[in-house]
Amino acid sequence: MINETVNSLWASNAIAEPVTVQLQGSINVDTVIIGAGFTGLRAALLLAEAGQTVVVLEANKIAWGASGRNGGQVNPLPPENTPATIEKHLGSKYLDRIAQTMLGSADELFDIIDKYEIDCQARQNGWLRVDHYSQARQASRATAKAWSEYGIEIQYLEGEQLHYETGSTAFQSATLIPKGGAIHPLSYARGLAKCAIEAGAVIYTHSPAISYTKKKDKWQIATTSGKVSATTVLVCTNGYSDALIPKLAKSIIPLVSIQMASSRLNEDLISSILPNGRTLSDTRRTIVYGRREPDNRILLGSLGRLSQRGDLKAFSELKEEAARMYPVLASVDWEFHWGGHIAVTHDHLPHLHEPEPAIFAGLGYNGRGVAMGNVMGRILAERVLGKSAADSPFPTTRVKTYPFHSFYKLGAKTVMWWMRSKDKREVNRA
Ligand SMILES: Cc1cc2nc3c(=O)[nH]c(=O)nc-3n(C[C@H](O)[C@H](O)[C@H](O)COP(=O)(O)OP(=O)(O)OC[C@H]3O[C@@H](n4cnc5c(N)ncnc54)[C@H](O)[C@@H]3O)c2cc1C
């Protein structure tokens, strides 16, 4: 059985976790943050630096959610959307702000890492978005060109240059986004947590927020072992949003992403794979993404699913794909297998909500939360510190729930099968 949290490469080689304890008793602060992933930790750091008293409540451990499990790819292009679709959803005022914010998200993240000297194997070596068949190339180039008009540098690769950059002959075309890169996500989250603690924030782990009530002008958040009274609440629970605010949990679909990492491989065997240290992802519905680690492991991921018993599924399909892309990987030992939830929204854009007065939530990164979670943490902190809703990069929207949300798990197997079959047919047509 492969369940969600065990056996991740990151847990095996991350920097040490700061020491934290469970909340006991009652405390009173300016802001309480729920969730200790990238979003919550960045907000905690900024608020503590601004002189607020800040507490983070985390149900499990620091970065137990997606922030400690993801592919660590820093990808600064919005997923799915083009400038035209964003303008249609939100109008031209927000298009300009969102373009600036999302396209600048990689630089913002690497700047934080530099500023706080976070030890997380950060490398801004570029992201290769490879087209899984010839027709995908037209769409991905049109989208990339549209975004390049907002200032992001983009290059198109094919032929020999593409084969060299990827180390694979499985693709005919790709877009290279030089601003992209990679981090060790769990080390980064732990490093960020350490900075937040040093700035004065207190992180309580194993302290799930289970209810909220208003008492005079303060929110009271109850955990299983204590209580926090705060003027403002930030909900940073993304794909792990739970029954605390049920409508928030129903505003996203928590898709499952799986990952595997090989054992350390002989340099001769893999010297041609991603030789310039770029990250790679493809244009499939079920996306395959990967990177090469400094210690010569290959890491690959894809959409997967959870069985009714909670086992992660679709590793055999990912291994087949690994061997198709890189025949030398057909016989390697895949030492680590893990996965987690990504939060998908109906418009494929991150959402900023205020479900109750002075309770703010930021979530829905659609697989781009490594950079965007950090940006949203800043946006939430700025709201707490007085920036008006009208001046935010994202509009504060009503929480819109997915109809028939509770049926998504039942349908996931069929939808995955359909997406995988379509992807396979297209790849075979390439
Ligand atoms: C396998 C995988 C691969 C991915 N790969 C990439 C990638 O390569 N690039 C990219 O940009 N994005 C990727 N993502 C997405 C990215 O990891 C997330 O968007 C990002 O980490 C979200 O950060 P967050 O802080 O908002 O949420 P999370 O990191 O999920 O943190 C939410 C936290 O809230 C806690 N929580 C929930 N409810 C409560 C409660 N009631 N009380 C207290 N605590 C609570 C949870 O325990 C959890 O720790 C991937 C995700 C997964 C799962």
For residues 75 and 281, is the Cβ–Cβ distance under 8 A? Answer: yes
In tens digits, the chain (430 residues) has pLDDT values of 455 556 899 999 999 999 999 999 999 999 999 999 999 999 999 999 999 999 999 999 999 999 999 999 999 999 889 999 999 999 999 999 999 999 999 999 999 999 999 999 999 999 999 999 888 999 999 999 999 999 999 999 999 999 999 999 999 899 999 999 999 999 999 999 999 999 999 999 999 999 999 999 999 999 999 999 999 999 999 999 999 999 999 999 999 999 999 999 999 999 999 999 999 999 999 999 999 999 999 999 999 998 888 899 999 999 999 999 999 999 999 999 999 999 999 999 999 999 999 999 999 999 999 999 999 999 999 999 999 999 999 999 999 998 878 777 777 778 888 888 898 898 888 6
| CATH superfamily to which 9-70+186-252+347-408 belongs | FAD/NAD(P)-binding domain (3.50.50.60)
Q: 118: Cβ–Cβ under 8 A, 6 or more apart, which residues?
A: 112, 187, 188, 191, 192, 195
Q: What is the full DSSP assignment across 92-104?
A: HHHHHHHHHHHHT
CA distance 28 to 397: 29
Ligand 1 neighbours (beta carbon < 6 A): 34-40, 57-60, 64-67, 69-73, 75, 208-209, 236-240, 242, 244, 257, 259, 301, 339-342, 363, 365, 367-371, 373
Residue nearest atom 20 of ligand 1, based on CA coordinates: 369
CA distance 240 to 252: 10
CA distance 221 to 353: 18
Q: Give the pTM.
A: 0.97
Going by their DSSP bridges, the two strands 359-363 and 226-235 should be labelled as parallel
Closest CA to 381 of 110, 112, 152, 18: 112
Q: Which atom of ligand 1 is nearest to the CA of 60?
A: 47
> Where are any strands of DSSP class E within 206-333?
209-215, 218-223, 226-235, 253-262, 279-282, 288-292, 298-306, 312-313
Q: Give me ligand 1 centre to Cα 229, in Å.
A: 25
Q: Which atom of ligand 1 is nearest to the CA of 38?
A: 25
List the domain boundaries for the chain. 9-70+186-252+347-408
Q: Which atom of ligand 1 is nearest to the CA of 343?
A: 19
Q: Give me ligand 1 centre to Cα 374, in Å.
A: 11
3-class DSSP state of 290: strand
pLDDT attached to residue 3: 52
